[in-house]
Amino acid sequence: MKTCIFVFLLIGFKSLALNQGRQEKETLTKRSISPIDVLCKRSPDFKVLTYGKTKMCLYYGQDICTYAEAQGKCRSRNSTLAIFNTAEKFRILYPMDMVWIGLDDIANEGTYRWADGSILDLQSNLRYTIFQAGEPNAAFDFEDCVCNRCYYDYDKLYDTNCAETYNYLCEKVFR
């Protein structure tokens, strides 16, 4: 019986110590400063936004404009329209509505490219995570640009007219 209690106590202490170690590690991770924090701070008006361990250096432009104008404004800030090519990055974008992001099928109808030239696989889970159900649907010929929550009852991405005017998000990527 005594041995039993001793073993119980031992296991209890051990798991307590393990948990504490884990918590300390998590706190450290949350506080840790990575290169993106340092580099982003040097970019006027850009801010690091995070979701879990995912960080993005973003500028939120509120001088509403067309997609092409937004591309130009990001370029003049040495950046591109922002790329949300993971579910985690999309969680960063999610709360922001009426914004252009760096995704369009201007060059090739039906082939969606991110601002860095990479292609979004329309068969992937990511497409269904980030797009409103049934989108992109090319409802009109001019629906080539992707906007987040730009339609009254949509809460995800959809393809729309590039000539419409919205806010926009620029992103700086540091390699």
Q: Which residues bind Ca ion (CB under 5 A)?
A: 105, 137-139, 143-144, 158-159
CB nearer to Ca ion: give 159 or 171: 159
Provide the minimum distance between the beta carbon of 131 and Ca ion in the complex, in angstroms, as a whole number: 9
Q: By C-beta, is 3 or 152 nearer to Ca ion?
A: 152
**CB of 73 vs Ca ion, minimal distance in Å:** 22
Q: Which is nearer to Ca ion, 46 or 67 (CB)?
A: 67
Q: Which long-range contacts (CB under 8 A, 24 or more apart) does 122-130 make?
A: 126/85, 126/86, 126/87, 129/87, 129/90, 130/84, 130/87, 130/90, 130/156, 130/157
Spatial distance between the Cα atoms of 76 and 92, rounded to a whole number of angstroms = 23
**CB of 141: closest distance to Ca ion in angstroms?**
8
